[in-house]
Structure 1
Amino acid sequence: MSTDPNSELPEVTVEPVPEPLPPRAPVKVPPRSLLARLFGISVWGSLKLLGLCILVGFFVLASQFNPSNPDVDMGAAIANVASTTMAALGWAVRNFWKPALAGAAVVIPIWVLWRLVSLPFRK
């Protein structure tokens, strides 16, 4: 038996810590042109813009606005569009349940079937 108290301890080896990687230089993206910044729009944004144009066009046509009429009064035209919009919103609030129920009769069963079919593939 040895009298050295450190002789019973196992020898520990320390591995060197790898040096950190040097920082990468930031990639410089060239600035977009004025036209690209002004009119650059995503596909989803263009679809929303198209939907808004159709919706506004519906109300403009529903108010029978004719800009070539010599008696055009822009204030009355805007008031007519606003009153038509409010009437349509009032109808939607009063009759909300009808289209919601009709849509739900189609959408909910398809949604439930889709959830059942895709269940094994979800985590």
Structure 2
Amino acid sequence: MDPSDPPRPAATPEPEPVTAAPPPPPVAPVAPPEKRPLLKRLFGISLWGALKLLGLCILTGFFVMAANFDPGNPDFNLAEALRAILRQSFAALGWAITNFWQPALAGALVVLPVWVIWRVVSLPWRK
């Protein structure tokens, strides 16, 4: 090394070799959702849904029968039939208010404490 040579910079450490990231795991192809047939999409209901539908049919049937609904009668008048159904509904509601409070209270004496206990016991598992 000659003293007239310019000074050399200090040696820099060699950079570590860059290793490539491992390739991502293979992704399984996602199958498109299976299409259900039209009739199954329209009328496929659960057992609970069928029971609710049956209950609604029975409840509606009580009101229809109470109004003496007969669409085959030549004297059938839709407006009068709807008025009769409405009149009978209010009569049934009045009867329920005057007579159903006792069974409702008796049922609440059993159901509400059980419900509260169940809510308290199941609290750790609810979000």
Question: Which bracket does the TM-score occupy, shorter chain normalised?
Answer: 0.5 to 0.7
Match of 2:50 in 1: 46
Alignment deviations for residues 30-83 of structure 1 (CA, whole Å, 9 cap, x no partner): 212222221121111111110000000011111122233221111111111122
Higher helix share: 1
Identify the range of structure 1 (81-90 vs 20-29) with the bigger mean alpha-carbon deviation: 20-29
- Segment drifting more, 72-81 vs 102-111: 102-111
1:55 corresponds to: 59
Match of 1:76 among 73, 80, 87: 80
The RMSD of aligned alpha carbons is 3.1
Of all paired residues, the percent bearing the same amino acid is: 53
User: Is residue 92 from structure 1 mapped to residue 96 from structure 2 by the alignment?
Assistant: yes
* Counterpart-to-counterpart distance in 1, 2:103 and 2:87: 22
- Rounded to whole Å, the distance in 2 between the matches of 1:92 and 1:25 is 59
Larger Cα-atom Rg? 2
Q: Which runs of 5+ in 1 are unaligned?
A: 1-16
- Alignment length (residue pairs): 103
Return the offset for 1:111.
Answer: 7.0
In structure 2, give the amino acid aligned to 1:44.
W
Q: Structure 2, unaligned stretches of length 5 or more? A: 1-20
1:1-123 equivalences in 2 (<5 Å):
21-105=25-109, 107=111
Q: Cα 1:23–1:76, aligned 2, differ >3 Å: closer, same or farther?
A: same
Once residues 90 and 108 of structure 1 are traced to their aligned partners in structure 2, the CA distance between those partners, rounded to angstroms, is 25
- Residue type of the alignment partner of 1:84: Q
SS at match of 2:72: coil
Report the Cα distance in structure 2 between the residues aligned to 1:18 and 1:85, rounded to whole angstroms. 72
